[in-house]
Structure 1
Amino acid sequence: MGIINILDPSTANKIAAGEIIERPVSVVKELMENSLDAKADYIEIEIIEGGLSLIRVMDNGQGMDSEDAQIAFLRYATSKISVLEDLFKLSTFGFRGEALASIAAVSQIVLTTCNNSSNIGIKLKLAAGEIENKESVASLQGTTIEIRNLFFNTPGRRKFITNRSYEAGLITELVSKYSLGYPGVRFRLTSNKEVVFDTSGLDSVESRLEEIYGQELAGKFVNIATKELKPKINVEAWLALPNYNRNTKNQQTFFINGRLIKSKELNKVLDETYHTLIPKGRFAVALIKLEIPATELDVNIHPTKLQVKINNLDTILNSMVDLFKPKLWNTSFKDNNPLVKEKSYSKEEKHNKIKETENNFFLEETPVVYHQEILSLKKSGSNEESNAIFNYPDTKEVTPAIEKAIFVTSEDFKNEEHEVSQDMPEVKKRIDLKPLAQLNNCFILAQDKKGLYIIDQHTCHERILFEKFFKGENKKDISSENLLIPLSLTLTGQQEGILLKNIILLKELGFVVEHFGPRSFVLRAIPAGLKLKDRENFFMDLLEVLSESTRITSAKIRENIITMASCKGAVKANQKLTLPEMQYLIDELNNVDNPHACPHGRPIIYHLSMEELYKIFGRGEYRGD
């Protein structure tokens, strides 16, 4: 007897549904796209418990008659195509006839629809894909479809969806992105009876961008008006100014012929456009809309139709870069870019100005007195001063004040001048180094009797902070420091879901956040001693890190957060340090468990022994004198 079985229709439908309907947001996507295909200009979505208990989508589109409504839930039933050739001239989202059948196979459905002005429609009730009841009802033109108890008959799938707030956040994110693609359509979303997103009165892309991203990005987008790249191929874009960036590509939104897609090629277009304008590892916030003839597309390559193939793609991409780059680069963002403001200072003003460091590493900067040779260059009028890469602090003239450092409490400093505490605990293999100078504002040069040490100031401080924070977290000894002015945050739907999912974890790590309304939160406290210049960007990046950590353990999530906080809070490259500040970092490095590498694995210290130096300069054998 053979071992190959033909699956019964019920089992086959449930398996097929798993490929298309992965989670509640998949259902909302399919139903919302049906509403757009029906030419609706008002779409209302209601969800309960993240969509698991209820998803209701109501529109004022064309609706269906009784006959179409009854066959709409059959697999491969579609009004979009009739022959294979129709695939290459599609102007709609759907075409396979699988979505409604897949949804019906794993849920209980109530459909009410009417396609005429007689206000008489049809109401159907289905369970597991089978029609249980049908009746004529009074109805306005359009369609209302209720999906109840999603995955009720596939408990294996349902048990993996554990966080309702996260699912609601994904749905909010999806609806907000579609609202950008269709500014002429009003979208309204309620979650657990609370309105979380509504575009009423927001009839432009710009107004919706502001609603989604908040005041931080209001008016900070460069709009590239519709431009023909090639015959019948048009593009329109909204590119955020370079200093408003994120650490993932989640806020890069692409539409092709009104279809929301994911595209690594378009990600690369933005990378090239913003090249040198934003730091490596940071990504632009952008919206791109492309209109391409259907004959040049293949949309039938992905189960959820999130990817497409485009004919002659390279030519289109190159044309986009050529269009975007000069527009972005030539846009004046003087009021938003601190680098532009800095240029207004004279050279003398810059030299005398007390600078605010990137992360406010010290409360105030200690004056630096340069070595006499460099000062003499300035007096003689030589322009060689600008090429000097060594800073030689004079120990007799440098103010001895050491300011309060990140994650260091006031008890670490003894007297009124805040001199470095001398009672640091001794550790094995302690190296007593004397700082000599700073190389290129990036490296600390130090010495002892054994030779020269080159220390990366950023990785050094990053390791110090990481171990302080990590040990504090293990001891559950992380305290919060209230912000003098609480920080208001406007989040995207996905960010809101991520935050609600991890809000207890963040509180344990010292971040106190309060819910202030739909997608609105207030950051009231941060870990004690964490000094950050741009707290809002840091917190947004923190949420992005959490969004990438959905399938790892809570311990790993904690480590990722601590690593990020250490990196963001550490002194940066190109940041000038005084001699006492260098000495402080060296002393603190003696107290860490791993003084050799930062949490990312980059080296901290490089040693050139006296033996090597003697050999390099041909001074014979070093005898340790």
Structure 2
Amino acid sequence: MPIEVLIPSLAAQIAAGEVVERPVSVVKELIENSLDAHAASIVIDVGKDPCSYIRVVDDGDGISSNEIDLALTHHATSKLHTLDQLDDIRTLGFRGEALPSIASVSKVLIVSRRLGSDSAYSVEYDCGLKINETAYASAIGTSVSVIDLFSNVPVRLKFLRSSTSELTKVKDIVHLFAMAYPSVKFQLRIEGKVTFDTQGSGNPIDPIVAVYGPKSASEMIAVASEQDDNGYAVEGFVSVPALNRANRSYMTLFVNNRLVNSRMLNHAVEESYHGLLPERRYPITVLNLAIPYSEVDVNAHPGKLEVRFQNENRVYSTLQKAIRSHLINQIPVSQVGQTTFTNRASQSFYPYTNYKPHGTTSDSQTTFSVDSAYTFNTHKPNREVLPSLTLIGQVRLTYLVADGPDGVYLIDQHAAHERILFDKVVAARGQRQSVSQTLLSPTTVELSSLHADLLDTNKETLKLYGFDIEQFGDNTYIVRAVPAVMSIADTEKSLRDILDMISVEGLLRQHEDVVAASVACHSSVRAGMPLSLTEMQSLLNQLHDTSNPHTCPHGRPTIIRYADYNLEREFGRRQ
């Protein structure tokens, strides 16, 4: 068959398929246009079958009468003028494709009045062809009506879901925009009946109450991280761990107030809850990540839901740290029978990084060698995250038992010591203290090609923590020194484990924290090891002073509580 240039109408329908996939795509594009026009009020009116009727009305800037036809021309926009602006896109729309794409697969009526104009102007298109234009009486702003969507492309209708399902998607997108823009009044009408309404008060919790209800909204934690030196900041709300859902659809994320779908950002959210949620349960989040416009590429897909980041490491870490730090301030000790923690350390390893240097109690006497290896600025945390506990003893050579004000506490000695050592190693790293122990007999280690590449890439990071490793052959290395806190019983295995963790961690987290967590894991007391009362008390005191005494660096719980209520009920003292 000969090569031919597509006729304009066919090319327009093909292009529309990239932008307008279903009714919710139309609603999304029209709302974004309204927001870019600085609308303070947006009304969305849809039919029971969204394909039959969609209307979006705003009180924004409006379109001049001599520009309405131009607005329905492909690649015509008021938001982008030079190539340089592609690196600094601040508007939600910029491609000049939404209105012409919608008009090519439906009947469209646009009525708009520009601020300063005496009257409005309307144009009507039918599947890409203009059929009417006239002066009109209307308030300042723009109204876009879309009728019989995909009427000229019936094959598209076959691939849509039921009207009820498509309507649900429309509701969801309106809810998301309402939560992202609390200063804008949103109203959704279905068959003329108001089903959703926000006041545009500017209070970010108000639309969350409207979407999820007052009970769920009362269990949300406000997240507000200050802008760092790189211009990164996170703000919004996340649910307490007890408020969770069975799927990720409740995790809402925006980048510079732009709704995005990002597996990397979703993973950052999930990992910030690591060890705090039952398996296959997910939090509710409404978060906006503010980053310099020049560091995010929003021109990755016509639908503008997919974005690319210049520095994924920094984006991931900023989001995960912000959520985790606010969660830690709110989390109570896990109660037996209340929360199920999952151990996913064998599947993946993403340690947490929100740790600040702090000291240990000066009067603690213990045989743990880490105390003599590092020197710290001694001060108490500015909050008490664990209650005062009275040590009782050790059971099964694995768990410490302590009495507390509201029950009996069990502490996993290995997980607790991991947390203590991790914080100390990270603190020492922050204070530029690298303490090594030189091996009396250097260990020769043969590594696989993968491990060798990882070692070469991360050699400087390992050195910062006290490793002294010298290449001896192609994939052979001599280990001359290891971190002072690390056991030297099996140096080769410890090194391989650390490299494995770095491999799994990939680009999602700073390698330094992976090394610190691995060093802590290989240096802490083990389950089955008897401890003296002095050692147990020291462990308990030091755990109390850590940045996060509730979980080890892998996310496993360090401590659980058996409440007084449960004890009394089991002994028949309470019915």
Say yes or no: TM over 0.5. Answer: yes
Match of 2:44, as an amino acid?
A: I
Asked if the contact 1:246–1:285 (Cα under 8 Å) also holds between the matched residues in 2, the reply is: yes
Asked if the contact 1:229–1:235 (Cα under 8 Å) also holds between the matched residues in 2, the reply is: no
1:256 and 1:382 map into 2 onto residues whose CA distance is 50
Identify the residue that residue 30 of structure 2 maps to in structure 1. Answer: 31
Identify the residue that residue 329 of structure 2 maps to in structure 1. Answer: 330
CA shift for structure 1 position 13: 0.7
CA shift for structure 1 position 225: 1.7
> Closer, same or farther in 2 for the Cα pair 1:333/1:34, shift >3 Å?
farther
1:183-198 matches, cutoff 5 A: 183-198=182-197
Structure 2 unaligned blocks of 5 or more: 340-391, 400-575
Identify the residue that residue 578 of structure 1 maps to in structure 2. Answer: none
1:190 and 1:261 map into 2 onto residues whose CA distance is 25
> Closer, same or farther in 2 for the Cα pair 1:166/1:11, shift >3 Å?
same
CA deviations on 1:276-315 (whole Å, 9 max, x unpaired) are: 0002221111111111222111111112010111112202
CA shift for structure 1 position 332: 4.9
Identify the residue that residue 249 of structure 2 maps to in structure 1. Answer: 250
1:4 aligns with 2:25: no
1:232 and 1:307 map into 2 onto residues whose CA distance is 21
Identify the residue that residue 20 of structure 2 maps to in structure 1. Answer: 21
1:126 aligns with 2:136: no
1:103 aligns with 2:102: yes
Asked if the contact 2:41–2:59 (Cα under 8 Å) also holds between the matched residues in 1, the reply is: yes
Asked if the contact 1:50–1:191 (Cα under 8 Å) also holds between the matched residues in 2, the reply is: no
CA deviations on 1:176-223 (whole Å, 9 max, x unpaired) are: 011111000000001122211100265422122122112441311111
2:78 and 2:336 map into 1 onto residues whose CA distance is 56
Asked if the contact 1:88–1:295 (Cα under 8 Å) also holds between the matched residues in 2, the reply is: yes
Asked if the contact 2:104–2:128 (Cα under 8 Å) also holds between the matched residues in 1, the reply is: yes
Match of 1:68, as an amino acid?
A: E
Identity within the alignment, %: 35
Asked if the contact 1:190–1:196 (Cα under 8 Å) also holds between the matched residues in 2, the reply is: yes
Match of 2:241, as an amino acid?
A: P
2:116 and 2:317 map into 1 onto residues whose CA distance is 49
Match of 1:299, as an amino acid?
A: V
> Closer, same or farther in 2 for the Cα pair 1:201/1:98, shift >3 Å?
closer
> Closer, same or farther in 2 for the Cα pair 1:383/1:307, shift >3 Å?
closer
Identify the residue that residue 297 of structure 2 maps to in structure 1. Answer: 298
1:307 aligns with 2:306: yes
> Closer, same or farther in 2 for the Cα pair 1:76/1:383, shift >3 Å?
closer
Moved more, 213-222 or 74-83: 213-222
Instruction: Indicate the RMSD between aligned Cα atoms, in angstroms.
Output: 2.4
Identify the residue that residue 232 of structure 2 maps to in structure 1. Answer: 233
1:48-127 matches, cutoff 5 A: 48-127=47-126
Identify the residue that residue 179 of structure 2 maps to in structure 1. Answer: 180
Identify the residue that residue 274 of structure 1 maps to in structure 2. Answer: 273
CA deviations on 1:550-603 (whole Å, 9 max, x unpaired) are: xxxxxxxxxxxxxxxxxxxxxxxxxxxxxxxxxxxxxxxxxxxxxxxxxxxxxx
1:327 and 1:256 map into 2 onto residues whose CA distance is 20
CA shift for structure 1 position 115: 0.5
1:338 and 1:211 map into 2 onto residues whose CA distance is 31
Identify the residue that residue 464 of structure 2 maps to in structure 1. Answer: none
> Closer, same or farther in 2 for the Cα pair 1:36/1:97, shift >3 Å?
same
TM-score by length of 2: 0.58
1:520-599 matches, cutoff 5 A: none
> Closer, same or farther in 2 for the Cα pair 1:81/1:382, shift >3 Å?
closer
Asked if the contact 1:151–1:157 (Cα under 8 Å) also holds between the matched residues in 2, the reply is: yes
2:229 and 2:175 map into 1 onto residues whose CA distance is 30
CA shift for structure 1 position 226: 4.1
CA shift for structure 1 position 52: 0.9
CA shift for structure 1 position 241: 0.4
CA deviations on 1:437-495 (whole Å, 9 max, x unpaired) are: xxxxxxxxxxxxxxxxxxxxxxxxxxxxxxxxxxxxxxxxxxxxxxxxxxxxxxxxxxx
Identify the residue that residue 456 of structure 2 maps to in structure 1. Answer: none
2:53 and 2:338 map into 1 onto residues whose CA distance is 52
CA shift for structure 1 position 133: 1.0
1:424-573 matches, cutoff 5 A: none
> Closer, same or farther in 2 for the Cα pair 1:312/1:385, shift >3 Å?
closer
Asked if the contact 1:117–1:140 (Cα under 8 Å) also holds between the matched residues in 2, the reply is: no
Structure 1 unaligned blocks of 5 or more: 343-380, 389-625
2:393 and 2:173 map into 1 onto residues whose CA distance is 60
> Closer, same or farther in 2 for the Cα pair 1:250/1:207, shift >3 Å?
same
CA shift for structure 1 position 340: 10
TM-score by length of 1: 0.53
Asked if the contact 2:221–2:239 (Cα under 8 Å) also holds between the matched residues in 1, the reply is: yes
Match of 1:311, as an amino acid?
A: Q
Identify the residue that residue 426 of structure 2 maps to in structure 1. Answer: none
Moved more, 325-334 or 48-57: 325-334
2:338 and 2:246 map into 1 onto residues whose CA distance is 25
CA deviations on 1:504-544 (whole Å, 9 max, x unpaired) are: xxxxxxxxxxxxxxxxxxxxxxxxxxxxxxxxxxxxxxxxx
2:231 and 2:21 map into 1 onto residues whose CA distance is 36
Moved more, 238-247 or 321-330: 321-330
Moved more, 180-189 or 121-130: 121-130
Asked if the contact 1:105–1:128 (Cα under 8 Å) also holds between the matched residues in 2, the reply is: yes
> Closer, same or farther in 2 for the Cα pair 1:299/1:170, shift >3 Å?
same
Identify the residue that residue 149 of structure 1 maps to in structure 2. Answer: 148
1:26 and 1:293 map into 2 onto residues whose CA distance is 27
> Closer, same or farther in 2 for the Cα pair 1:124/1:333, shift >3 Å?
farther
CA shift for structure 1 position 55: 0.4
Q: Secondary structure of 1:3's match?
A: coil
Match of 2:181, as an amino acid?
A: Y
CA shift for structure 1 position 224: 1.4
CA deviations on 1:115-134 (whole Å, 9 max, x unpaired) are: 12444011111111121111
1:52 and 1:315 map into 2 onto residues whose CA distance is 41
Match of 2:14, as an amino acid?
A: I
1:340 and 1:67 map into 2 onto residues whose CA distance is 68
Match of 1:101, as an amino acid?
A: P
1:138 and 1:167 map into 2 onto residues whose CA distance is 33
Moved more, 323-332 or 42-51: 323-332
CA deviations on 1:71-106 (whole Å, 9 max, x unpaired) are: 110111111112221111111111111111110000
1:231 and 1:320 map into 2 onto residues whose CA distance is 14
Identify the residue that residue 512 of structure 2 maps to in structure 1. Answer: none
1:250 and 1:121 map into 2 onto residues whose CA distance is 40
Q: Secondary structure of 1:302's match?
A: coil
2:136 and 2:83 map into 1 onto residues whose CA distance is 37
> Closer, same or farther in 2 for the Cα pair 1:236/1:298, shift >3 Å?
same
Identify the residue that residue 443 of structure 2 maps to in structure 1. Answer: none
Asked if the contact 1:119–1:139 (Cα under 8 Å) also holds between the matched residues in 2, the reply is: no
2:300 and 2:268 map into 1 onto residues whose CA distance is 22
Match of 1:296, as an amino acid?
A: E
Q: Secondary structure of 2:323's match?
A: helix
CA shift for structure 1 position 384: 5.2
Identify the residue that residue 208 of structure 2 maps to in structure 1. Answer: 209
Asked if the contact 1:52–1:149 (Cα under 8 Å) also holds between the matched residues in 2, the reply is: yes
Identify the residue that residue 222 of structure 1 maps to in structure 2. Answer: 221
Moved more, 317-326 or 132-141: 317-326
Q: Secondary structure of 1:228's match?
A: coil
Moved beyond 6 Å, runs of 4+: 385-388
CA shift for structure 1 position 228: 1.3
> Closer, same or farther in 2 for the Cα pair 1:331/1:23, shift >3 Å?
same
1:49 and 1:258 map into 2 onto residues whose CA distance is 29
Asked if the contact 2:182–2:200 (Cα under 8 Å) also holds between the matched residues in 1, the reply is: no
Asked if the contact 1:229–1:320 (Cα under 8 Å) also holds between the matched residues in 2, the reply is: no
